[in-house]
A and B are shown apart, each in its own frame.
Chain A
Amino acid sequence: MLQLTNLTKTYPTPQGPLHVLDGVDLRLAAGESLALMGESGSGKSTLLHLAAGLDTPDRGDVVFEGQSVSALSEPRRAALRRQRLGLVFQQFHLVPSLSVADNLTLQARLAGRADTRWTQHLLARLGLAGLNDRYPEQLSGGQQQRLAIGRALAAKPRLLLADEPTGNLDEAAADQVLELLRELIEESGCALLMVTHSARVAAPLDRCVHLQRGRLAEAGP
């Protein structure tokens, strides 16, 4: 489904070029869940951004369902994200001026395939039923992250890309959110690529890979 080949990315800094990714190869099968681990600054988020088409590699290629993402124009990359990917951020990035219900369906509406039954199901599963008219600032951190996951899944993506989805939550809330995420992934049948620095969070996933100084260091089970 997702194939990253020889991905290389360098950023200029006052101290000279910083090689964030240095020839990374990675494959992800349909329905598979993969944890991408590594220290801060190891290049995890950059890899996720390249996979999402938010950025382009200096070298190498990102191929999603047989299509080279790197070769797509900006509007086509946007369409790919809208139609086939789901993104979950550590900082949630909910739209503060939209209600819970509107935030949840935002990407689905952007993609032109809002499904009321699936939305209601998600609201119930995420424990947000009854909070439709609230605004993000009126929710707890855990509720906001669940809403962000719901927004990504409401559009029924083929691949969910999650960047430290529990990084801002306490342990109990994080466990709840992860449990829910796994269940919903199974229900929807989409693949998951999750960036995390926590082995505990990575453990239940199908596979785990480590990034170290821009290279894949070790593959997990």
Chain B
Amino acid sequence: MTTNATHAGLLHTTWGTLSSHYRRHPGQLAMLLLGLWVASALWSGVQAINASARDSYARAESLFSAQLDSVVRRDNQPLSLDAYLTLRRAGMPVSPLVEGEMTIDDGTHLRVIGIDPLTLPGESSLARQQSDAAALRDWILPPHRARIAPEQVEAARDDSRLPPLETDPSLPPGTLITDIGVAQQLLGVDTLSRLVVAPGQSLDLPPSLVRQSAAALASPGQLTDSFHLNLTAMGLLALIVGLFIVHAALGLALEQRLGMLRTLRALGVPGRTLVIALALELLAIGLLGAVLGIVSGVGLARLLLPDVAASLDALYDTDVASHLALPWYYWLGGLAVTLGGLFSAGLGMLWRAARLDILALGKAQAWRARLHRQLRLQALAGAVLLAVAAWLGWRLGNRPNPQELALGFAMVAALLLGASLWLPPLLAGGLGQLSRQLRSRPRLQWALADLQLQLPRLQLPMMALLLALSANLGVGSMVGGFRLTFLDWLDQRLLADMYVRPTEAQHADVIAWLENRDEVRVILEARHAEAPRLDAEGQATGQPLALFGITPAAVMQRNWPLLETATGRMAAWQALSAGNGIFINEQLAHRDGLAPGDTLYLRGPQGPVTLAIVAVYPDYGNPSGEAVLSASYLAERFTASPGSLGVVLRPDATRDVADLQAALGERFGLSGDAAVDQRAVKRTATEVFERTFAITQALNVLTLAVAGLALLTTLLAQAGARRAQLAPLWALGVSRQQLIGLQFGQLVSAATGTALLAIPLGLGLAWALVAVINVAAFGWRLPLHIFPDQIAMTLLLAMLVAALAALLPTWRLWRVPPRQLLQEFSAA
């Protein structure tokens, strides 16, 4: 008991003595907490967004409508009640469904789904819930019942149009489910959106109806995986950069406390007690940093989530709640990652404390020998990592696939870490070389020698700066290249000035009417169908393939982008026009290993169809494999119903889109989405694009800011020691202005050296993103673009960050009275 009490007292006094360092140097504690806070906040923020989105996906996937096959009209028009009754009378177990959007009193949009619980297939979760007779009666008899997602229940409660509400946490955000009659009333329709049927249930449908398999639709989770992976990667980068600050702060605190640790050991504190006290100190700081970080991360996520939700909705048509839903493991995970990161950054400190040589008390530090040994080790470890990155790059660059996405990220991590480890040896080598050449200029030579002396402390913030600069350049190049390619591709693909979507009944009339208009040059007819894939023996291979019909007019042949062809562009178009060639998108080619010259086997309504793949075309942003045929051939062989019409106007009439829209509205009642100006489509697509990368770029800027902070905090933390080193120079006759100039010059030069390494690293990262990560994640490859202005910007940013970071310490040096410099000179 006494022994335990004595040990507790010993630990308490040791901990108190150790922490007294931070009381005297609160800046260092602030730096430590700042690094931890930033790392934890950015990581937690990204994870909060991911967790929230995944919760929404899980709820969407659990919805019965996502689990059942659908029956729709080929022309995508609503179904009549008669069509449903005909199928039921023929003994087909289909159930009617009405879907639509309504706006409730406070402006909230609700996705209303109307079901018939009596015919809804029994496998669905909702059908199971309604199996209770009382619940069923409440559901189908007035005043009826509606189930609603918890997020909207409060807003919806006051809307008198809605039946009594029951909260259902399993529903996706913004969803309300009620009886089909109530839904029709709420939506103001008397038709059905689609019919649903249990998967595997066979149906003998008339030709006007088509079955869509639930399994053929990619789940939102699958579609958005790559998006969230990108976010996670950026969060991880921010975490690593933040941990660099933590590592730098801990290293500095240890270095400054080495004397204290040795004194404590000499006064009788066992090594184990010292390590426990340091670990407890880490734990306390870690818990504080983690709590601050997670709370800020949740705030950050709350700020970004509406934008992310809008992007995901626009990109993948997924409903993500615009407010956070965080599971318990999110909090635990955030805490574990922060503490894990802190302990991995502090492991070196604990190791050094455990192996502390007490007899080194008062011995001068052989810093040069130690630094050289450390630099050699770093160069060796960096070389190994870069070799691993090069090998992975060679392997994945040839043919990356989705299974190797993790390897792609491992390659990026090895590349970044390897290059960071090489930075200090390269800087030291460069400084040594320059120093030898500047013997005749003593002040510059001193500045270089002094910079070498600072290298052990500056290396971590410089490594963080390198990572942030290269990520900035790499991601900037990727996004810039993507923007160029995407906008170019949009121009090529959206050839028509206007897109018209008539009903099947109006289709022929609209074409005839348009053909008679003077301002119309060409009408590009599009169709859509699905066909099961077959193997060479004629056996079904699984998922049906989406087929699109296009009109191979001259304007289309000139502009439609092709990546690869079997025997040239002209021959490819001839084969497509003749109906014996098919174009496939890059995603399908990549996923199934298909190339021009291969054959595609499909089952059409009239039997198997064999088509030669004559070209591969880019299809940016599309997650699925698709193929393109001539529209007339698609109509003939796959009974594809009419789709949209692209209207190309005469060059002198392109300003007449609004007039044509008005005329179509007047003549056929086509307005809104049924007659769209191409410029509006492009504008929307570009907006979606910009919003998608807005978050990536925001995180990028934050990472750069964190690296700048790392540099600033390191400079502030060592400002006192620096003054003691500068004081002798001042005493030797170098003015304070010159000292400040030297300090500024030192830091800006080191940052410029770092930026020079960041340029090849950033370009390597851009290549990895477009040629490996993008192909593995999305299935399409982007051309690598190099932007000289971004490279110049990287150099400027490095200098700016260094200059900003140096501003405060040099200003403080400027304000130091000569008396204090004199005292520091005496102490030195």
A binding-site residues for B, Cβ under 8 Å: 49, 52, 54-55, 74-75, 78-83, 85, 87, 89-91, 93-98, 102, 106-107, 109-112, 135, 151
With A54-B358, A93-B361 in contact, do A81 and B266 touch (Cβ < 8 Å)?
yes
Could you tell me the distance between the alpha carbons of A164 and B17 in the complex, rounded to whole angstroms? 26
Q: Could you say which residues of chain B place their CB within 8 Å of the CB of A55?
A: 358-359
B32 CB to nearest chain A CB (Å): 15
With A54-B358, A110-B10, A110-B14 in contact, do A93 and B268 touch (Cβ < 8 Å)?
no
With A97-B20, A97-B23, A135-B24 in contact, do A112 and B9 touch (Cβ < 8 Å)?
yes
Could you tell me the distance between the alpha carbons of A75 and B13 in the complex, rounded to whole angstroms? 17
8 interchain pairs, CB-CB under 8 A: A54-B359, A55-B359, A81-B268, A91-B362, A95-B263, A97-B24, A110-B10, A151-B267
- B740 in the interface (beta carbon within 8 A): no
Contact of B268 among A82, A89, A94, A102 (CB under 8 A): A82
For chain B, the bracket of interface size reads 20 to 34
Could you tell me the distance between the alpha carbons of A64 and B80 in the complex, rounded to whole angstroms? 103
Determine, out of B81-89, B137-145, B269-277, B542-550, the stretch whose residues face the partner at the interface: B269-277
- Which 9 A-B pairs rank lowest in CB-CB distance, beginning with the nearest? A82-B268, A81-B268, A97-B24, A78-B270, A97-B20, A75-B270, A109-B13, A93-B263, A91-B362
Q: Could you say which residues of chain B place their CB within 8 Å of the CB of A49?
A: 359
Could you tell me the distance between the alpha carbons of A102 and B264 in the complex, rounded to whole angstroms? 13
Contact of A110 among B13, B21, B271, B359 (CB under 8 A): B13
Which B residues between 261 and 292 are near A, CB-CB below 8 angstroms?
A: 262-273
Could you tell me the distance between the alpha carbons of A214 and B363 in the complex, rounded to whole angstroms? 21
| Contact between chains at A93 and B269 (CB < 8 Å) | no
Q: Could you say which residues of chain B place their CB within 8 Å of the CB of A102?
A: 17, 20
What mask results when residues 3 to 43 of chain B are scored 1 for a CB within 8 Å of chain A, else 0? 00110011001100100110111000000000000000000
Could you tell me the distance between the alpha carbons of A48 and B217 in the complex, rounded to whole angstroms? 81
19 more A-B contacts (CB under 8 A) besides A75-B270, A95-B263?
A74-B270, A75-B271, A75-B272, A81-B266, A82-B268, A82-B269, A83-B268, A93-B259, A95-B17, A95-B260, A96-B259, A97-B24, A98-B17, A106-B17, A107-B267, A109-B13, A110-B264, A111-B268, A112-B5
Could you tell me the distance between the alpha carbons of A30 and B23 in the complex, rounded to whole angstroms? 41
| Contact between chains at B24 and A93 (CB < 8 Å) | no
A40 CB to nearest chain B CB (Å): 14
| Contact between chains at A110 and B266 (CB < 8 Å) | no
Q: Could you say which residues of chain A place their CB within 8 Å of the CB of B21?
A: 97
Q: Could you say which residues of chain B place their CB within 8 Å of the CB of A109?
A: 9, 13
| Contact between chains at B266 and A87 (CB < 8 Å) | yes
Q: Could you say which residues of chain B place their CB within 8 Å of the CB of A90?
A: 362
With A79-B270, A82-B269, A87-B267 in contact, do A98 and B20 touch (Cβ < 8 Å)?
yes
Q: Could you say which residues of chain B place their CB within 8 Å of the CB of A94?
A: 263
Could you tell me the distance between the alpha carbons of A34 and B91 in the complex, rounded to whole angstroms? 113
| Contact between chains at A93 and B266 (CB < 8 Å) | yes
Could you tell me the distance between the alpha carbons of A55 and B360 in the complex, rounded to whole angstroms? 11
Tell me which of B5, B9, B272 has the highest count of chain A C-beta atoms within 10 A of its own C-beta.
Answer: B9
Could you tell me the distance between the alpha carbons of A110 and B273 in the complex, rounded to whole angstroms? 11
Q: Could you say which residues of chain B place their CB within 8 Å of the CB of A97?
A: 20-21, 23-25, 260
Q: Could you say which residues of chain B place their CB within 8 Å of the CB of A85?
A: 268
| Contact between chains at B271 and A74 (CB < 8 Å) | yes
A157 CB to nearest chain B CB (Å): 10
With A75-B272, A79-B268 in contact, do A106 and B13 touch (Cβ < 8 Å)?
yes
With A82-B269, A97-B20, A110-B267 in contact, do A89 and B13 touch (Cβ < 8 Å)?
no
B638 CB to nearest chain A CB (Å): 81
Tell me which of B14, B267, B269, B270 has the highest count of chain A C-beta atoms within 10 A of its own C-beta.
Answer: B267
A43 CB to nearest chain B CB (Å): 14
What mask results when residues 243 to 273 of chain B are scored 1 for a CB within 8 Å of chain A, else 0? 0000000000000000110111111111111
| Contact between chains at A112 and B10 (CB < 8 Å) | yes
With A79-B268, A135-B24 in contact, do A89 and B361 touch (Cβ < 8 Å)?
yes
Q: Could you say which residues of chain A place their CB within 8 Å of the CB of B9?
A: 109, 112
| Contact between chains at A110 and B260 (CB < 8 Å) | no
Could you tell me the distance between the alpha carbons of A55 and B361 in the complex, rounded to whole angstroms? 12
A165 CB to nearest chain B CB (Å): 14
Residue of B whose beta carbon sits closest to that of A73: B270
Q: Could you say which residues of chain A place their CB within 8 Å of the CB of B263?
A: 93-95
Contact of A95 among B20, B265, B270, B358 (CB under 8 A): B20
A120 CB to nearest chain B CB (Å): 19
Q: Could you say which residues of chain A place their CB within 8 Å of the CB of B358?
A: 54-55
Q: Could you say which residues of chain A place their CB within 8 Å of the CB of B23?
A: 97
Residue of A whose beta carbon sits closest to that of B7: A112
| Contact between chains at B267 and A91 (CB < 8 Å) | no
| Contact between chains at A78 and B20 (CB < 8 Å) | no
With A89-B362, A97-B260, A110-B10 in contact, do A54 and B17 touch (Cβ < 8 Å)?
no
Could you tell me the distance between the alpha carbons of A73 and B259 in the complex, rounded to whole angstroms? 23
Q: Could you say which residues of chain B place their CB within 8 Å of the CB of A82?
A: 10, 267-269
Could you tell me the distance between the alpha carbons of A96 and B263 in the complex, rounded to whole angstroms? 11
Q: Could you say which residues of chain A place their CB within 8 Å of the CB of B24?
A: 96-97, 135
Residue of A whose beta carbon sits closest to that of B25: A97
Could you tell me the distance between the alpha carbons of A181 and B361 in the complex, rounded to whole angstroms? 23
Residue of B whose beta carbon sits closest to that of A84: B268
Residue of A whose beta carbon sits closest to that of B272: A75
Residue of B whose beta carbon sits closest to that of A152: B267
Residue of A whose beta carbon sits closest to that of B259: A93
With A93-B362, A97-B25 in contact, do A78 and B17 touch (Cβ < 8 Å)?
no
Could you tell me the distance between the alpha carbons of A64 and B348 in the complex, rounded to whole angstroms? 36
Which B residues between 223 and 247 are near A, CB-CB below 8 angstroms?
A: none
Could you tell me the distance between the alpha carbons of A52 and B359 in the complex, rounded to whole angstroms? 11
Residue of B whose beta carbon sits closest to that of A94: B263
Q: Could you say which residues of chain B place their CB within 8 Å of the CB of A135?
A: 24
